[in-house]
Copies of this chain bind each other. A is one copy, B any other.
Amino acid sequence: MIVEKLSHTTRTMKSSMIRELVASTRDIEGLISFAGGFPSPKTFPAEILKDLYSKVIRDEAAGVLQYGASEGDPVLKKQLIEWEGYDISASQMLVTAGSTNAIYYMTRALVDPGDVIICEAPTFLGSLVAFEATGAELHGIPLDQEGLDLNILHSKVDELQSQGKKVKMIYTIPDFHNPAGLTMSLARRKALIEYAIAMQIPILEDNPYSRLRFSGEALPTLYRLATQDYLNHEVVTEAVTFSKILGPGMRLAFVKGDEKLIERMCSWQQKVNIGPDNVSQRVAARFFEAGHMEPHLAKCCDFYRPYLQKMLEAMAKHLPSYIQYTKPEGGIFTWLRLPEDMNADQLFQQAIAKKVSFIPGSKFYPSNQVKYNALRLNFSFSTMEQIDEGMRSLGKLMEDFYA
């Protein structure tokens, strides 16, 4: 009975292949996994959180266990505004239950079935399936060394608009891109913003990793550039998650944008889950207030830096010279570009047999634009030995491919 009653969107929607892929290999003993996007539990500030949770309930139970504002805990928002460090008002910010949640609300706020979302190709699969579930039509734009290829973007938007399609959003991950590990150049950021302002197309900037920079100099976010340099508060909406900073189990993120858009996203939040967990929101607020965030971030970067270093070394040492890869300065992923005739889905099967896993690149493309000659490697969850050993196995498989 139920199956015949399912809605059209539900019957046709895709699941996140990554979760299924990670789940399918969960029971392989001794597996070296470069597949997931999990932060290392060693970076969780458990000692501090243990005390803060207890203190927040002890001192503020009547408030934090009660219904809270759908806009987000005002105590947390005050801290977040300070953290951002530039002029932004509480009505330009919404706290959500993770950035997937923020992305969902923004999509619901803007997209009718058949409307177009432009994304990068490759891009984060979790966002792709959330977009598709709203009935959006996705068009992926390739990346070059500086980020989203603007020439291709321009002609794609022209083409779509000449077909009468409504382009409702450009979705981008400018810092330590998932999966490509790439950081968008400053020039490209500016050009993208100028184009979006001229064309009146909202940008959704997904920013899970910019605070996890291990070396090099930080670039301003698109949101910051748009609001500070272009004095435009409408064109960019930025989602920042705490998943890679405090721990994804807390389900916390915040999103900044035009206050009329934020208001509508808040209406969706009210209807979908009332608001994020109040206890975790207040704990995050007290974490900031007590000055824990900056030293904690420094610790996280100190923790991850040698793993990235190790991964870069292992790639240089073990991969055939014709394999190209990104050399990120932060985040948790790197991306391998294989020769045209090497299929990462096939390689995945062989790698699993050797007890090494990764995510084949094909999982990161809109369904009509799939490419097979790339793969994503995560370096935040394995040991140093596993990184070396796993990359040795992968390199060997690649060499055998042409043997």
Chain A residues close to B by CB (< 8 Å) = 1-3, 5-10, 13, 15-16, 19, 38-39, 41, 44, 46, 49-51, 53-54, 57-58, 61-68, 70, 96-98, 100-101, 104, 108-112, 115, 126, 129-130, 133, 168, 200, 202, 234-235, 243, 246-251, 258, 260-261, 264, 267-268, 270-280
Question: Which of B1, B10, B57 contacts A109 (CB under 8 A)?
Answer: B10
Residues of B within 8 A of A67 (CB): 38, 243, 248-249
Q: Could you say which residues of chain B place their CB within 8 Å of the CB of A6?
A: 109-110, 264
Expressed in whole angstroms, the minimum distance between the Cβ of A169 and any Cβ of chain B is 8
A44 touching B15 by the CB < 8 A rule? no
Q: Assuming the A-B contacts A57-B46, A65-B46, A249-B65, are A3 and B273 also in contact, with contact meaning beta carbons closer than 8 angstroms in the complex? A: no
Q: How many copies does the complex hold?
A: 2
Decide if A247 touches B65 in the complex (CB within 8 Å).
yes
Contacting residue for A10 out of B9, B51, B264, B272, CB 8 A: B264
Contact of B277 with A248 in the complex, beta carbons under 8 Å: no
Main secondary structure, interface of A, reads: helix
A19's nearest neighbour on chain B, judged by CB, is B270
A15 (CB) vs chain B CBs: closest residue: B267
Inter-chain CA distance A222–B277, complex, in Å, is 29
Decide: A247 and B66 in contact? CB cutoff 8 A. yes
Q: Is the CB of A251 within 8 A of B272?
A: no
Are the CB atoms of A101 and B19 closer together than 8 Å? no
Q: Contacting A97 at CB < 8 Å: which of B1, B15, B104, B277?
A: B277
The distance in angstroms between the C-alpha atoms of A200 and B64, with both chains bound, is 42
A248 near B1 with CB under 8 A, answer: no
Report yes or no: B1 in contact with A202, Cβ–Cβ below 8 A: yes
> Bound complex: CA of A130 vs CA of B271, how far in Å?
5
> 5 A-B residue contacts at CB 8 Å?
A7-B111, A10-B264, A54-B54, A129-B271, A250-B278
- Known A1-B202, A8-B112: A49·B61 in contact at CB below 8 Å: yes
Please determine whether A277 and B251 come into contact, CB atoms closer than 8 angstroms.
Answer: yes
Choose among B2, B38, B168 the residue that contacts A5 (Cβ–Cβ < 8 A). Answer: B168
Return chain B residues, CB-CB under 8 Å to A268. Answer: 10, 133
A243-B331 Cα distance, complex, nearest whole Å: 37
A62 lies within 8 A of B44 (CB): yes
Docked-complex contact A10 and B235, CB < 8 angstroms:
no
The answer to whether A41 touches B53, judged by C-beta atoms less than 8 angstroms apart, is: no
Question: By the criterion CB–CB under 8 Å, are B19 and A46 in contact?
Answer: no
B62 with A98: CB separation less than 8 A: no
* Chain B min CB distance to A324 (Å): 30
Q: How far is the CA of A251 from the CA of B51 in the complex (A)?
A: 21
